[in-house]
Amino acid sequence: MKEMLRESCPCHYPRFRELSGFLHDNYQAGPVFCADTNFLIFCSIKKDANFLTEIQRIGAGSLGDFDDSIFSCRKCSTRYRQVSRQYSINFEFSYFILEDKRFQNDLGEKPIKPFPLLQGLFGFDDKEILKCAKDFKLSNQQELYNYMTQKN
């Protein structure tokens, strides 16, 4: 994130948008969460990252199991909706939906498969995890960093 923030903001990086928006429904899979997505979202909304600011909470009409939050990028004003789902007391995850794209051009490369992950995918059922896993591979920290910050 620090590297992306030096250049502009993570909004300009399609790989950031892809990873922060991971949702098992997009793979026609049951409950699976990506630990890397959760960590990326956590880092994005931390106040010390100085990247996203919460501007609205949505209770009625939320897409998740809790209130949704709308965040705005402090640099380009792009808006994301944070949706959180809970499948059990130990299985809760979040993802972003790009609500309002305000940036003009991408700085980063488009996602290519397999997408490297540091922590990986988790869920209740191995068959459901495997439906999502075909587009990902476990990697190391340097490979993930290089992939996420690669510019076009």
Q: Count of domains in the chain?
A: 1
Average pLDDT over residues 71-75: 95
- Residue 45, domain member (yes or no): yes
Kindly provide the residue ranges of all beta strands, DSSP E only, lying in 26-135, ordered along the sequence.
32-34, 52-58, 68-73, 79-88, 91-100, 115-117, 121-123
The token duo for 100 is 């309002």
**Bridge partners of 136?**
115
Q: What is the pTM of this model?
A: 0.93
Residue 33 has what pLDDT?
93
Q: What is the pLDDT of residues 87-130, one digit of tens each?
A: 988 889 999 999 999 999 999 999 999 999 999 999 999 999 99
- Per the prediction, the chain carries an average pLDDT of 94
Task: Give the pLDDT band of residue 18 (cuts 50, 70, 90).
Answer: very high
Residue 90 has what pLDDT?
83
* Whole-angstrom distance, CA of residue 9 vs CA of residue 37: 17
- Residue 67, domain member (yes or no): yes
- Residue 152, domain member (yes or no): no
Q: Which domain holds residue 83?
A: 2-147
